[in-house]
Amino acid sequence: MNTANLQLEGLYTALQSVLCALREKELLTADEVDRALSEAEAVAGADPRRPTELSGSNREAVLFPIRYLRVANRLCGEGSRPTFSEVATLVGRENKPGN
């Protein structure tokens, strides 16, 4: 696996922990976090300066971190912290073409 991918995996996991800590300390609610991430997903998916020849898989790669954090946000309130692989699997299941 590419080292950059492993570094990103660590970064997503760290951001997940920070996001959950913000919720646990009641600095942000789950809905506030989800709204912010929803806005980020909309902006990233509709960037007018992004080349039109960007492939569908590249577009999905841009959206993956945001979708990952949205799923992680939803899971924060369920007690245990899921692993990167568990969250990524849910992202993949929830964002299949046609969903």
From first to last of the 99 residues of the chain, give the pLDDT tens digit.
678 889 999 999 999 999 999 999 999 999 999 999 999 999 988 877 777 777 878 888 889 999 999 999 999 988 778 999 999 999 999 987 545
Q: How far apart are CA 67 and CA 94, in angstroms?
A: 9
Q: Output the pTM of the full model.
A: 0.85
Residues 6 or more apart whose CB falls under 8 angstroms from that of 93 comprise none
